[in-house]
Amino acid sequence: MATVEMEPVARETPSVGPARIFSEGDGHAVLLLHGLSSSPIELRYLARYLQNEGFTVCAPLIEGYSAGSSEQTMEQWVKSAAREFDALAARYERVSICGLSIGGALAMRLIRERPSAQSLVLLSLTLAYDGWAIPWYRFLLDWAYFTPLRHIYRYRESEPFGVRNEALRKKIARAMQRNSFSEVGPSTISLPALHQALRLARAARKDVAAIENDTLVIHAIDDETSSPRNPRYVIDNIGANFLRTLWLDDSYHMITSDNEREIVARETTLFLRESEVAHGARDAQNQPVVSKALARRLRQLAAVGRKKA
């Protein structure tokens, strides 16, 4: 979620229909969870990168959470995500969970329901809308939900649309004018959806200490939607022994589309393969499919580990 302005508008259905992403790869499946009222489009670059590195990739549509679906409670969001996880777990040896923005909070709740997950990746984690571009009236969101405003108002996205890249920002502005939708999400978000997102974020906070899965956190220091306080809460409280943090300095909230999207994709790929190695997930006759550059990096890391030992 980027900068928002509150205004009365008619309820909209995005004319660009969201679509599920699925690509068959090796025995390590990655479940990608997009942001609030958005679609897998905002994870398209990351999905393609993971696919090229050999992973099985699934970025589903979540009923009541994804764009174009009827609104449901956050408990239903978690149940729908759990069904997607179970379908992957029935076919693949390992399943990791990756969430973007509020999708990160959804990933945290899901991994508590499915602790067998290989690892957790949190991108631009949003547990509170407290970035520098969020308007002063954000604290009224829960109050407004319990008034007739919930049926009248939607929050309209405006610049910078979560991206620092000016050319991409202009492209997004044009797309939202034409279609009420873009590669970084919808042009408006309903009050009921925002209310459920805040409920989900509060629930995710409560269980963070119980998460012991390998965890990667990537966040932009200038994130205009969710400040660095969001990932720091997880970093300070999570129970994971294998925790990696990466701070970006040339992106805003939508780090999977912005200037450093390649860094995000590369580091996510490296982390997921390292998690496999750390847990001895593969034997010598079933090696992961990786790029030459990634294989070289893994060998370097292994050499450093042997020296320290």
How far apart are alpha carbons 135 and 118 in whole angstroms? 38
Of 24, 269, 232, nearest to 128 (Cα)?
Answer: 232
> Quick one: pLDDT at residue 193?
84
**Which residue is it, tokens 């959470």?**
65
- Domain 4-308, CATH class in plain words: alpha beta
How far apart are alpha carbons 199 and 221 in whole angstroms? 25
* DSSP E strand boundaries for 37-105: 56-59, 94-100
> Quick one: pLDDT at residue 125?
98
> Quick one: pLDDT at residue 308?
47
Domain ranges of the chain: 4-308
Measured over the CA atoms of residue 163, residue 164, residue 165 and residue 170, the dihedral's sign is positive
Is there a contact between 20 and 145 (Cβ–Cβ < 8 Å)? no
Q: Tell me the average confidence (pLDDT) per consecutive run of 10 residues in the chain, 309 residues long.
A: 34 52 97 93 96 98 88 95 98 97 97 97 95 67 63 58 73 62 56 89 95 98 95 97 96 94 97 91 42 54 50
Strands 119-123 and 214-220 come out as parallel
CA distances from 91 to 28, 50, 114, 191, 251 (A): 10, 18, 15, 37, 36
